[in-house]
């Protein structure tokens, strides 16, 4: 330290990393400021569109703030064109999918982490689902749901919430399995062994020791599963046209048809659909990196 002080500059890593001598941090705040504007302007535009009266929506030049804001679109969006149905379906599907994916995924991850079930092959088999292009699955699943599920299972899965929940669970599993797999592998085994010595069954050890200890991992895995099913579009637009229509499908319908006549309603519904994004954005901060890379990078 003394030699550096003698040389007249401290090893301020931020300055060095940026690659330029930044005596003041003005460049980094310029970067942050520009990004913030880019991030917020489209959000602002939708927020304002949701309270504009109909006449201002298609006005040219564009209206940045309406003279008389209205809350009409919020009421209309839920009544018109599948708004309320979409919101309800999306909530139900996302919650049920989350529960399924977390329970099934945690169980499998625990088995793989503690007993090395299936070794690396099984783990990578689950991971490969993350790489699979959804379009390759959705065409045959559409055929199976619409033509054969009634014949084989006695229950037509097309346009049902059940059908979507099943498919979403499968596609949320790579997240939950891998997040919990890396989590369990870092957890000490000794506590569970102690419980087994004390006469617990394996199931009890899992339920009373491992599961509570893994709670933070479970929360973030659940959040990822929820967000996945809340935002998924391709499967929903193919499988759920009417009865099981989800929020993204209802929104895309509003936005792309009607020549812009429903922009206000679509914007209002979008604002509603962003609420979970905000809540989970705050909730997930600590586990975000691990979730995005399925445990490949520790955040």
Partner 1 sequence: MNSTTAVDTRRRRSRAASSWVDRNIRWILVAPAVFVVLALTVFPLIFSLWTSFVQFDFSLGEEHPWVGLDNFRFNWEDPVWRRSLYITGALAAGATIIELGLGLILALAMLRPFRGRRVLMVLFVIPLFVSPVIVGMFFDLFLRRPQGPANQIISWLVPGQTAIDFTFDSPWTYVSILVADAWQWTPFMFVILLAGLASIPDEMYEAADLDGAKPRQAFFFVTLPLLLPIILVAVTFRFIDAAKLFDIIYTLTRGGPGTDTYTTTYYLYQQGFQLFHLGQGTAGSWMFMLMLTFIAFWLVRRLLRPVAA
Residue 13 interacts with partner 1 (CB under 8 A): yes or no = yes
Residue 45 or 243 with smaller CB distance to partner 1 = 45
Residue 136 interacts with partner 1 (CB under 8 A): yes or no = yes
d(CA 161, CA 85): 12
Residue 19 or 188 with smaller CB distance to partner 1 = 19
DSSP single-letter state for residue 208: I
**Binding-site member from 72, 91, 92, 137 for partner 1 (CB under 8 A):** 137
Residue 99 interacts with partner 1 (CB under 8 A): yes or no = no
**Binding-site member from 2, 5, 11, 259 for partner 1 (CB under 8 A):** 11
Binders of partner 1 in range 205-234 (CB under 8 A) = 206, 227, 230-234
d(CA 30, CA 50): 30
Q: What's the token pair of residue 242? A: 């009417």
d(CA 158, CA 145): 5
Residue 5 interacts with partner 1 (CB under 8 A): yes or no = no
Residue 51 interacts with partner 1 (CB under 8 A): yes or no = no
d(CA 19, CA 13): 10
Only segment of 67-75, 139-147, 185-193, 213-221 that touches partner 1 (CB under 8 A) = 139-147
Residue 206 or 245 with smaller CB distance to partner 1 = 206
| Residue showing tokens 């891998």 | 178
Residue 57 interacts with partner 1 (CB under 8 A): yes or no = yes
* String marking each residue 140-179 x if it binds partner 1 according to CB under 8 A: xxxxx---------------------xx-xx--x---x--
Binders of partner 1 in range 66-85 (CB under 8 A) = none
Helix and strand element counts for the chain (H, E):
19, 0
DSSP single-letter state for residue 258: G
Residue 76 or 114 with smaller CB distance to partner 1 = 114
Q: Which of 175-211 are b and which e, b meaning 16 or more Cβ less than 10 Å from the residue's Cβ?
A: bbbbbbbbbbeebeeeebeebeeeebeeeebbeebbe
Residue 219 or 288 with smaller CB distance to partner 1 = 288
**Coarse DSSP helix, strand, coil percentages of the chain, rounded to the nearest 5 percent:** 75, 0, 25
Residue 199 interacts with partner 1 (CB under 8 A): yes or no = no
Residue 119 interacts with partner 1 (CB under 8 A): yes or no = no
Binders of partner 1 in range 248-267 (CB under 8 A) = 248, 251-252, 255-256, 260, 263, 266-267
The sign of the torsion formed by the CA atoms of 281, 264, 257, 146 equals positive
3 burial level (CB within 10 Å; 0-12, 13-18, 19+)? exposed
Question: Residue 202 CB, nearest distance to partner 1 (Å)?
Answer: 4
């Amino acid at each position: 330290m003394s030699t550096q002080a003698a040389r007249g500059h401290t090893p301020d890593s931020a300055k060095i990393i940026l690659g330029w001598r930044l005596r003041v941090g003005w460049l980094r705040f310029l970067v942050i400021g520009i990004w913030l504007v880019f991030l917020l302007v489209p959000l602002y535009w939708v927020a304002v569109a949701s309270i504009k009266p109909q006449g201002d929506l298609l006005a040219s030049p564009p209206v940045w703030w309406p003279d008389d804001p209205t809350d009409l679109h919020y009421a209309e969006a839920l009544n018109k064109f599948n708004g309320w149905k979409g919101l309800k379906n999306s909530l139900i599907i996302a919650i049920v999918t989350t529960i399924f994916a977390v329970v099934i995924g945690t169980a499998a991850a625990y088995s793989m982490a503690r007993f090395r079930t299936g070794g690396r092959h099984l783990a990578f088999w689950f991971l490969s689902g993350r790489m699979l292009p959804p379009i390759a699955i959705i065409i045959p699943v559409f055929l199976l749901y619409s033509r054969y599920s009634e014949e084989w299972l006695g229950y037509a899965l097309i346009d049902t919430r059940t059908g979507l929940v099943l498919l979403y669970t499968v596609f949320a599993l790579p997240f939950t399995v891998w997040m919990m797999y890396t989590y369990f592998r870092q957890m000490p085994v000794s506590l569970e062994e102690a419980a087994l010595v004390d006469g617990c069954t394996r199931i009890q050890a899992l339920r009373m020791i491992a599961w509570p200890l893994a709670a933070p991992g479970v929360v973030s895995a659940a959040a990822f599963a929820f967000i996945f099913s809340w935002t998924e579009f391709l499967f929903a637009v193919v499988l759920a046209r009417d009865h099981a229509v989800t929020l993204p499908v209802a929104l895309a319908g509003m936005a792309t048809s009607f020549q812009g006549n429903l922009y206000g309603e679509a914007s209002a519904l979008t604002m509603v659909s962003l609420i979970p994004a905000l809540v989970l954005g705050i909730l997930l901060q600590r586990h975000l990196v691990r979730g995005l890379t399925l445990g490949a990078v520790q955040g």
